[in-house]
Structure 1
Amino acid sequence: MWVFGYGSLIWKVDFAYETKVVGYIKGYLRRFYQHSVDHRGVPEKPGRVVTLVPSSDHNSKVWGVAYKIREDDIEQVTKHLDFREKNGYSKETVIFHPKDEQVEPFKLTLYVATEENESYAGPASIEEIAKQVITSVGPSGTNKEYVYNLAEAMRTIAPQVNDDHLYSLEVAVKKLDPEFRK
C-alpha cells in the first residue's frame, strides 16, 4: 500500500512507513479550499487546509511524497489516516510519478476533499484566505504554521516547482503576520 502526502503529510508524518518517494500526480491542483475544524481551526472559526481539485490541464502536477506502508502496518495506518482525515476527505486511487525517472509510475491512495463534503470552503481570493488563515488556531496549532511548514517542505522536496497558489498565500499571510511585518 502506498499513500500520497500533498499537505501536512509531507512534513508531519505520524505513522509507520517503509519507504518514502518524492514525486507528483497529474490532473490536479493543490488549493486551500477545505475548512479545518479539527486540526488548524475550530467549528466556530475554521482554518483552511489543502485539498486537490481537478485541473482542466491533464498534465498539471501536484508534487508531494509517496509513503510505502509495510504489509503488517496497513490496517493500523489506514485506521489512523481515516481518523486523521475524517473532516470531509475520501480516498481515491491515482498514478504517482516518482521524481527519479528510473522508477516506474505506480498506483497509490490519496485523501481528497471534494465539493460535496460539509467542510468544503471553496475558492476565495488569496487575500481572503490569508485573513482566515492568520486568525485561525486549532488542536494541531496555528493555521499560519500549516501554510509556512507546507511552503518550506515544498521548497525542500521540489525546489524546481513554483506552486503559485501556495507561495502567493504564504506571502499574503506573512504580510498580515505581526512576526513578519516591519
Structure 2
Amino acid sequence: MQDTLWVFGYGSLIWDPGFPVAERRIATLKGWHRSFCMRSIHHRGTVEKPGLVLALDRAEGASCTGVAFRVAPGEEAATLYALRERELVSSAYLEMTLPVTTKTGPLDALAYVIDPDHVQYCHLDREEQAQVIARATGGRGRNRDYLWSTAAHLAELGIRDPELDWLADRVRALT
C-alpha cells in the first residue's frame, strides 16, 4: 500500500492506537457522534454480561472531535490487518473512509462506525449506560477503565465531551 493512511480515533484508539503513528492531528467528523451505543461481548464485557463501548453513530447535525492518526509509512497493510482484527471482531462496526477536518485542512480517514442493524447496537439512557459500565469486564479489562481512560485522554487533548464526563463521574459514584 503506497497511499497515506489516516485513521480516526474517537475512543480507545486515542490512547491505545495499537499501530505505528507518524503524526497526530485533532480532527472533527461531521454527521456522527461518539456514543456508548454498542454492546461489548468481547473486549469490555461478555455474552452473558455485555459491557458498552463507544461507536460513531450517525446523527444529523452532530459532530465528533477526536484524533486523526497518520500511519507510519510502510506500516499500512499491517495496520489495516491489526485494526480489522481488533475492531471487526463481531461485525458490529462498519469500516468506512470518511472526511474529517483538521486545523491544517481536510483529509480522508478510516473510521469504525456502528452498524445500526446489528444486534449489538443499542440506545440506553445515561443512567443505564452508567450501570452497565460500572459492572462489566471483558477480555481487555474493566469497562469503567475504558470509559475513564477515554474521558481523561479527551480532557488532556482539550476535547470537551460533557456526556462522557457525566458518565465518568456517575460510574465513579457507583463504584
Does the TM-score normalized on the shorter chain lie above 0.5?
A: yes
Whether 1:24 and 2:28 are equivalent positions in the alignment is yes
Task: State which drifts further: 135-144 or 85-94.
Answer: 85-94
Contact 2:136 2:142 in 1 (8 A): yes
Look up the match of 2:163.
165
Q: How many Å separate the matches in 2 of 1:70 and 1:105?
A: 19
State the 1:165 CA deviation: 2.1
Q: TM-score, normalising length from structure 1?
A: 0.88
Look up the match of 2:132.
132
Look up the match of 2:6.
2
State the 1:158 CA deviation: 2.3
Q: How many Å separate the matches in 2 of 1:116 and 1:74?
A: 29
State the 1:125 CA deviation: 1.1
Q: The residue matched to 2:44 in structure 1 has which SS?
A: coil
Unaligned runs of 5+ in 2: none
Paired amino acid for 1:169 = L
Contact 2:151 2:165 in 1 (8 A): yes
Q: How many Å separate the matches in 1 of 2:101 and 2:158?
A: 13
Please give the root-mean-square deviation of Cα atoms over the aligned residues, in Å. Answer: 1.3
Look up the match of 2:86.
84
Paired amino acid for 1:91 = E
Look up the match of 1:180.
none
Task: State which drifts further: 12-21 or 126-135.
Answer: 12-21
User: CA deviation digits over 1:118-173, x for unaligned, max 9?
Assistant: 321x11111111111111001111000011011101111124x2x23212211221
Paired amino acid for 2:117 = E
Question: Mapping of 1:14-93 within 5 angstroms?
Answer: 14-57=18-61, 60-86=62-88, 87=90, 88-93=92-97
Q: How many Å separate the matches in 2 of 1:20 and 1:78?
A: 17
Question: Mapping of 1:90-129 within 5 angstroms?
Answer: 90-98=94-102, 101=103, 103-120=104-121, 122-129=122-129
Q: TM-score, normalising length from structure 2?
A: 0.91
Unaligned runs of 5+ in 1: 178-182
More strand by share: 2
Q: The residue matched to 2:17 in structure 1 has which SS?
A: coil
Q: How many Å separate the matches in 2 of 1:89 and 1:143?
A: 18
Q: How many Å separate the matches in 2 of 1:176 and 1:72?
A: 45
Paired amino acid for 1:164 = P
Question: Mapping of 1:140-155 within 5 angstroms?
Answer: 140-155=140-155
Q: How many Å separate the matches in 2 of 1:164 and 1:19?
A: 27
Contact 2:9 2:68 in 1 (8 A): yes
State the 1:28 CA deviation: 1.2
Contact 2:22 2:73 in 1 (8 A): no
